[in-house]
Amino acid sequence: MAFLIGASACAAACVAHAPWRLSTSARDAAPIVTSVERLAEVRARAEVAAHSVEIHPDFTLTVVEFDDQGRLWSPEQVERLDRTLASEGRRTDSEGVLIVFFAHGWLHDARVCDPFVACFRAFLAEIASETAAAARVAGAGLKPPRVVGVYAGWRGRSVTEPFAQLTFWSRKHAAERIGGGELVEVLTHLDQFVRRENAGGRFAALNVIGHSFGGTMVYTALANILKARLVEALDRRGRVPADRNVVEGFGNLVVLLNPAFEASLYAPLQDLVEELGPYSRYQSPVLVVVSSETDGPNRTWFRLGRWINVLFQRTGPRSARALLTTAVGDYEPFSTHRLEAVNASRAPQLARRSACSCQLPVPELSQDEAGKLAAFLTARRDGELTERTGASQACTAGLTLGSARLVCRPGVDPSRPIWHVHAADEVVQGHSGFFTRPFLDFLRYMMIHALSKTGSGVLPEAAVR
């Protein structure tokens, strides 16, 4: 009887398995022009809710949604994304497209005022503002790229409180199905767009970010691609100079934040990275895994659930049991860096949310930081390559990135293509508190450096003269 009562209560609390940003009407298929300020009005929010493409003054937000089986709710959302990328790339007030893909995690979805949707808008606005400031500093007629965000929505919130905490494992399985489903097609679609634009002499870049189960989705979709790129680099070893053997990765950068999948799934990639060294001094990270040192769900629920799941499984000599029960970011042997706040005595500076808005704790870009970004934008336009030697030396002693400080673990080569970063609580608070000033400063730094990456795994001869 108690089971039936509990099941009935959970059923009553279920969130509908349906898309939030999909309409079949011709009017709603077109992008809607709006702004963060307008979304403070209830009427404006209702209008935007029917559209999967929002055109803001300084950036564009698109939404692509998946069902629990990993299928797109409608290919029409991807077609709208295609049309949007084509039109935004030809704007006269910008030069090219900077794509930021974000896959949200547990307890969130794609509704207009979901906290992550609101803060993703704020993040896109911040990136647009910073690249515009950098373009002004660079001068010489350089225009900033148009920032286009792609929000991957899914049913991360499947039931309402107080039962939501019971859905951890069912949502993990849904995320794995999405990562193995049509998310692969969407990400490859974006990567091919960037490659076509770059081949035609137009600027385009792709940064992929996945949080929690969104990180699970992204890794599931890209793991085999990343393995293939590392195997290609291993095959080139000995046939080309080490400095020319740059691992290409996927897009410009992939960041997994508190990803909720077991370390055993990553272990084969780790083996390939270790076998590859020494690394090119032109190598920038292609995958960055960031794990909060105070991530409760991954450090408690995840370990407990995985311990039960693998209780009767057997392991071979290369499969330590801890790999099966520990989230990838928390597995200590993988750790390469630690990220902390410059002023750790101060309380975490978290984003402030109200209604449909999100105010990020990020001050105006300093002249020095604008100059650094301008240099990278200019280098990318001129086809220059940036050595990592100075940054590598600084990282060993501690590299200051705005309000964040990155320190390499002893014995870690900072030029390695994959990083595992442990973040202090003041940088990433718990499982979802990543909209902080130190983390956003760190993320900006990583994205800036990714812009200067070469588009080929083998550097041109001029790069090593």
| pLDDT tens figures, 392-436 | 556 777 888 889 999 999 989 988 999 999 999 999 999 999 999
What is the band of 309 on the pLDDT scale with cuts at 50, 70, 90? confident
Condensed to tens digits (0 to 9), the pLDDT of residues 94-107 reads 999 999 999 999 99
Q: Which pLDDT belongs to residue 394?
A: 64
Looking at the chain, the whole-number percentage of residues with pLDDT higher than 90 is 64
| Mean pLDDT calculated for residue range 215-233 | 97
- Range with lowest mean pLDDT among 77-91, 128-142, 342-356: 342-356
Q: What is the rounded (10 degree) CA torsion for 73, 79, 81, 83?
A: -160
Q: How confident is the model at residue 60 (pLDDT cuts 50, 70, 90)?
A: very high
Cα–Cα distances in angstroms (integers) from residue 125 to residues 50, 120, 122, 312, 340, in the given order = 22, 9, 5, 49, 25
4-26 average pLDDT score = 66
Nearest Cα to 180, choosing from 212, 211, 217, 154? 217
Mean pLDDT of 320-347: 90
The predicted pLDDT at position 103 comes to: 98
pLDDT of 234 > 80? The answer is yes
Q: What is the structure's pLDDT at 2?
A: 36
The pLDDT of residue 44 is above 90: yes
Average pLDDT value for residue range 278-299: 93
3-state SS class at 100: strand
pLDDT-derived band at 141, boundaries 50, 70, 90: confident
Residue 14 pLDDT: 83
Alpha helices (H) along 89-202: 115-138, 168-179, 183-199
Q: Please say whether the beta carbons of 302 and 261 come within 8 A.
A: no
pTM of the prediction? 0.92
Confidence of residue 376 (pLDDT cuts 50, 70, 90): low
Q: How much is the pLDDT for 346?
A: 61
Amino acid making up residue 60: T
- Distance between CA 279 and CA 317 in Å, rounded? 28
* Length reported for the chain: 465
Given a cut of 60, whether residue 253 has pLDDT beyond it is: yes
Confidence of residue 7 (pLDDT cuts 50, 70, 90): very low
- Tens digits of per-residue pLDDT, 157-210? 887 766 667 788 889 999 999 999 999 999 999 999 999 999 999 989 999 999
What confidence score (pLDDT) does residue 451 get?
Answer: 74
Q: What is the rounded CA–CA span in Å between residue 289 and residue 296?
A: 17
Q: Which position has the higher pLDDT, 458 or 231?
A: 231
What percent of the chain has a predicted confidence (pLDDT) above 70?
87
**Average of per-residue pLDDT across 443-449:** 87
State yes or no: pLDDT of 61 exceeds 50: yes
* pLDDT score recorded for residue 301: 83
State residue 212's pLDDT score. 96
pLDDT at 8: 45
Pairwise pLDDT comparison (430 vs 347), residue with the higher score: 430
Cα–Cα distance measured from residue 401 to residue 287, given in angstroms and rounded to the nearest whole number: 19
User: Given this model, what pLDDT does residue 453 score?
Assistant: 56
**Whose structure tokens read 């450096």?**
449
**Band of the pLDDT at 382, cuts 50, 70, 90?**
low
pLDDT tier for residue 334 given thresholds of 50, 70 and 90: very high
Closest C-alpha among 108, 123, 102 to residue 437: 123
